[in-house]
């Protein structure tokens, strides 16, 4: 009979049985819902890293978007009182002109979204009407700006040789109908809003082309005419009869058969360039007379920055800008509010002003640049090397973000407005003005953002909650809808 194992016999002792620990008590409501009994514990190292990174990024986005909305609301409240100004029934509201074009190396969609996200809310808050001039490629805004000015010059009576042959402008017909009905625009300044450095350079080029260039396209820039069929037939039949008969008799049957199989040469297709060539070159500014209808002051302008960067290696910069949109919304809102309020100043000019080699006052480029490839040159060569106009350096930091494809030479002979230096003529530069927000309005916007001051707009009252007038006693006591309106305005 075997004896039980004991430590003295050298046999290991068997482990004692331990019952499992009872699970922690669960909420009866959760147990009845069929939910498992979760045991809360600290996540693992990998989960902590993941949750901290994603949580920080989500918190940064949430904070930025909240501050962005607050900044936009501040500038919208600053100008919202303009929307309540009454207008006569025969008066058109103030209309602005928006210039935007596709960023270099990209389509036009980013510029449209940029306008709708940062600029349009302030314009809508002030009930501003606007026209948009878009450019899908380089040169479209330049041509649109110049054509708008040429249309204005024709309206004021400037005539050319081809004025009778020009088609009727539908926009001019609409304006004539409004004049007959005695509908006038609001007697205030209009203003131009330009988005991006590339659009700003085209806008300046279009201003000079419109006010300094001719009304009709120069003959040297028009597309060449193809020879007519009559002329080609006349050249082939100018041979004498004898020569023609001998040439036909000497041809062998094989040669005539080979010539019959050769297809006739196709006529060269000539399409007009898009956009059309500029009517005047930058080197011809100083020799070109200005329009007699050139106003003393041009419409004020508001250049708006548009930092648009592409490329995989620029991902850190794009992430930083994505997380700091509140600063962009505040800056763009300030410039847009200045345009809506209509306060402006002349563009500044440095004291140094260079001249051309001929001693005459010349247009002032940033640096010496070659003339255009459009066939127009000027005998006066500019030697300007210093910036003299404020317009030349505005938004210049954006050029470093342009895609490399926009800096490649073009295959056609169209002008490179984006890459060429900005050339300013004194007759245009001194007439330009820029919208600027005065310090008192900026302080008011700051107080509105802090909540210490309310908007100047009258509070909109809900008249449905007011008592209904049923007899003349209430009407005589002043309990009418306009009494409530005056109360709201107070």
Find, among 274, 265, 127, 278, the residue nearest to 207 by Cα: 278
CA 133, distance to chain mean position in Å, is 9
Average pLDDT, stretch 412-429?
87
What pLDDT digit, counting tens, does each position of 299-335 carry? 999 999 999 999 999 999 999 999 999 999 999 999 9
Residue 481 pLDDT > 60, yes or no? no
Average pLDDT for 133-139: 90
Helix axes 45-79, 325-341, angle to 10 degrees: 10
Kindly state the average pLDDT of the residues 97-108. Answer: 93
Query: Which has the higher per-residue pLDDT, 96 or 20?
Result: 96
Higher pLDDT, 164 or 289: 289
Which tokens hold the place of 434?
A: 């820029």
Higher pLDDT, 277 or 472: 277
Burial of 49 (0-12, 13-18, 19+ CB in 10 A): exposed
Give φ, ψ of 398 to 5 degrees. -75, -20
Percentage of the chain exceeding pLDDT 70? 72
Tens-place pLDDT, residues 245-291: 444 444 444 444 445 555 555 544 566 677 888 889 998 999 999 99
Query: What is the per-residue pLDDT for 73?
Result: 95
In this predicted model, which residue has the larger pLDDT, 382 or 311?
311
Q: What pLDDT is stored for residue 42 in this prediction? A: 84
> Is 244 a residue whose pLDDT tops 70?
no
Predicted confidence at residue 108, as pLDDT, reads 93
Contacts of 150 (CB under 8 A, 6+ apart): 210, 215
In contact, 95 and 162? CB cutoff 8 Å: no
pLDDT at site 378: 39
User: To the nearest whole percent, how much of the chain has pLDDT over 90?
Assistant: 42
By the 10 Å C-beta count (0-12 exposed, 13-18 middle, 19+ buried), 72 is classed as buried
Quick check: 474 pLDDT over 60? no
Mean pLDDT in the chain?
78
CA distance between the termini of the chain: 112
Q: Where are the domains of the chain?
A: 46-159+170-217+274-350+387-450
Segment (H or E) for 133: strand 129-135
Residue 182 pLDDT: 86
Tell me, what's the pLDDT at 305?
A: 94
Lowest average pLDDT, out of 79-88, 130-139, 212-221, 445-454, goes to 212-221
Cα 235 to the chain's mean position, in Å?
54
CA count, 13 A, side-chain hemisphere, 250: 6
**For residue 5, what are the CA distances in angstroms to 9, 17, 111?**
7, 17, 89
DSSP category for residue 415: -
Q: Sorting pLDDT into bands at 50, 70 and 90, what band is 188?
A: confident
Quote the pLDDT of residue 181.
86
Position 224 confidence tier, pLDDT thresholds 50, 70, 90: very low
Of the pLDDT bands very low, low, confident and very high (cuts 50, 70, 90), residue 360 is: very low
Highest mean pLDDT, choosing among 21-30, 74-83, 175-184: 74-83
Please compute the mean of the pLDDT values over residues 81-104 and round it to a whole number: 91
pLDDT band at 46 (very low <50, low <70, confident <90, very high): very high
Nearest of 110, 162, 107, 146 to residue 415 by alpha carbon: 146
pLDDT at 364: 46
pLDDT above 60 (res 40) = yes
Three-state DSSP class for 303? strand
């Amino acid at each position: 009979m075997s004896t039980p194992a004991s430590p003295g016999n050298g046999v290991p002792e068997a482990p004692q049985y331990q019952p499992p620990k009872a699970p922690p008590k669960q909420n009866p409501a959760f147990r009845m819902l069929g939910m498992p009994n979760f045991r809360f514990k600290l996540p693992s190292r990998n989960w902590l890293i993941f949750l901290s990174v994603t949580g920080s990024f989500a918190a940064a986005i949430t904070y930025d978007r909240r501050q962005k909305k607050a900044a936009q609301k501040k500038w919208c409240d600053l100008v919202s009182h303009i929307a309540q100004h009454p207008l006569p029934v025969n008066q058109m509201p103030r209309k602005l002109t928006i210039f935007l074009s596709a960023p270099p190396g990209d389509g036009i969609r980013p510029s449209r979204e940029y306008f709708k996200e940062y600029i349009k809310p302030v314009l809508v808050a002030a009930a501003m009407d606007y026209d948009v001039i878009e450019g899908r490629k380089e040169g479209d805004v330049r041509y649109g700006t110049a054509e708008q000015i040429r249309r204005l010059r024709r309206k004021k009576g400037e005539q050319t040789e081809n004025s009778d042959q020009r088609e009727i402008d539908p926009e001019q017909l609409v304006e004539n109908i409004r004049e007959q009905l005695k509908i006038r625009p609001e007697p205030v300044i209009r203003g131009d809003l330009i988005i991006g450095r590339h659009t700003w350079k085209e806008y300046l080029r279009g201003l000079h082309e419109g006010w300094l260039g001719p009304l009709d396209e120069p003959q040297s820039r028009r597309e060449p005419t193809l020879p007519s069929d009559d002329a080609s037939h006349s050249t082939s039949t100018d041979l004498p009869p004898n020569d023609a008969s001998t040439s036909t008799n000497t041809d062998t049957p094989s040669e005539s058969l080979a010539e019959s199989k050769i297809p006739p040469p196709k006529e060269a297709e000539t399409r007009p360039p898009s956009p059309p060539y500029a009517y005047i070159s930058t080197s011809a500014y100083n020799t070109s007379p200005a329009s007699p209808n050139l106003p003393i002051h041009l419409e004020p302008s508001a250049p708006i920055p548009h930092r648009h960067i592409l490329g995989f290696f620029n991902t850190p910069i794009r992430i930083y800008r994505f997380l700091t949109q509140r600063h962009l919304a505040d800056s763009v809102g300030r410039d847009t509010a200045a345009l809506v309020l209509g306060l402006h100043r002349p563009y500044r000019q440095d004291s140094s002003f260079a001249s051309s080699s001929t001693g005459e006052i010349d247009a002032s480029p940033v640096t010496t640049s070659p003339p255009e490839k459009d066939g127009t040159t000027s005998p006066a060569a500019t030697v300007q090397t210093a910036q003299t106009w404020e317009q030349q350096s505005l938004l210049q930091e954006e050029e470093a973000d342009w895609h490399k494809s926009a800096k490649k030479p073009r295959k056609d002979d169209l002008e490179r407005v984006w890459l060429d230096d900005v050339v300013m003529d004194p007759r245009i530069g001194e007439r330009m003005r820029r919208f600027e927000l005065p310090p008192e309005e900026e302080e008011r916007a700051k107080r509105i953002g802090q909540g210490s001051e309310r908007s100047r707009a009258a509070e909109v009252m809900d008249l449905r909650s007011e008592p209904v007038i049923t007899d003349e006693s209430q009407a005589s006591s002043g309990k009418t809808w306009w009494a409530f309106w005056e109360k709201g305005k107070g």
